[in-house]
A and B are shown apart, each in its own frame.
Chain A
Amino acid sequence: MKVNPNFLKKVKKYGAFDISKCFNCGNCTAVCPLSAEDASFPRKMIRYAQVGAQKEIESSLDPWLCYYCGECSDTCPRQAYPGEFMMTLRRYLIAKYDITGISGFFYRFPWIQNILVAGIFAFSLGAFAVYKGDFQELAAKIELAFPVYVTLAIAAYVFTFYRKTILDKAKKILISFDFSNIKETLIHGLTQKNFSGCSDTDRTRWIAHLLVMSGYTLTLVISNLHLLEPLKKHYGISDFATFLVFYAAFAILAGGFIMMYRRAKKKAQSSSFSHSTDWLFVVMLFLIGFTTAVVHISNMILGPQDPRVEMLYKINIAVEVAWIIIIVPFTKWIHIFFRPMAVYLRNLKKEEAQGKLFSMPIPGLK
Chain B
Amino acid sequence: MSENKEFVCDSLIIGSGIAGMQAALDIGDAGYNVIMVEKSPSIGGKMISLSKVFPTLDCASCITTPKMAASSHHPRVKAFTYSEVEKIEKTNEGFEAEIIKKPRFVIESECISCKKCEESCPVHLEDEFEFGLGVKKAISIPFTNAIPQLPVLDESKCIRCAACARVCPKDCIDYLQKPEKIKIKAKTIILATGYEITPMTAKKEYGGGRLINVISSLQAERLLAPHGPYGKVLRPSDGKIPDSIAYVQCAGSRDESIGIPYCSRVCCMYAVKQAMLLSGSLPLSEITIYYMDIRAFGKGYEQFYNQARAMGINFVKAKVAKITEDQEHNVILRIDKQEEGSVPMEVKHDMVVLSQGLLPSNKNFFGLNIEKNEYDFVASSKPDFSPALTSTEGVFTAGTACGPKDIPDTIMEAGSAAMEAVNYLKSVKI
Contacts and interface: CB of A to CB of B under 8 A. Distances in A.
Interface of A: 23-32, 35-38, 40, 43, 74-79
A31 B321 contact: yes
In this complex, the member of A28, A43, A77 whose beta carbon has the largest number of chain B beta carbons within 10 angstroms is A77
Contact of A25 (B292, B322, B334): B292
- Tell me if B's interface is mostly helix, strand, loop or mixed: loop
A30 B336 contact: yes
Given A36-B344, A77-B257, A79-B257, A30 B334 contact: yes
7 contacts: A25-B292, A26-B335, A30-B320, A30-B334, A30-B335, A43-B336, A76-B257
Interface string B244-278: 00000010001111000000000000000000000
B337 interface: yes
What interface size band does chain B fall in?
Answer: 20 to 34
Given A36-B343, A78-B256, A30 B322 contact: yes
B344 A32 contact: yes
A75 B205 contact: yes
B318 interface: yes
Nearest to B254: A77
Interface of B: 205, 250, 254-257, 292, 318-322, 334-338, 342-344
Contacts of B343: 36-38, 40
In this complex, the member of A27, A32, A43 whose beta carbon has the largest number of chain B beta carbons within 10 angstroms is A27
A75 B257 contact: yes
Contacts of B336: 26-27, 29-30, 35, 40, 43
In this complex, the member of A31, A32, A37, A76 whose beta carbon has the largest number of chain B beta carbons within 10 angstroms is A31
Contacts, number: 64
Contacts of B250: 25, 77
A78 B344 CA distance: 19
A27 B319 contact: yes
Contacts of B335: 26, 30
B338 A76 contact: no
Contacts of B319: 25-27, 30, 77
A77 B257 CA distance: 5
B257 A26 contact: no
B257 A23 contact: no
A76 B256 CA distance: 7
Contacts of A37: 343-344
Given A29-B336, A37-B343, A74 B318 contact: no
Contact of A40 (B254, B320, B334, B344): B344
A37 to B, nearest CB: 5
Given A31-B322, A35-B336, A40-B342, 5 more contacts: A25-B250, A29-B321, A30-B320, A30-B336, A40-B343
Contacts of B334: 30-31
Contacts of A74: 257
A81 to B, nearest CB: 11
B345 to A, nearest CB: 8
Contacts of A31: 205, 321-322, 334
Contacts of A24: 338
A53 to B, nearest CB: 14
A75 B292 contact: no
A102 to B, nearest CB: 37
B269 to A, nearest CB: 19
Given A40-B336, A43-B336, A75-B205, A29 B254 contact: no
Nearest to A76: B257
A79 B343 CA distance: 22
A40 B338 CA distance: 11
A30 B318 contact: yes
B255 A77 contact: yes
A40 B205 CA distance: 20
Contacts of A75: 205, 257, 321
A79 B344 contact: no
Chain A to chain B: the 4 pairs with minimum beta-carbon distance, closest first: A30-B321, A25-B319, A26-B336, A31-B321
B355 to A, nearest CB: 14
Contacts of A23: 292
Nearest to B256: A79
A35 B322 CA distance: 14
Contacts of A35: 336, 344
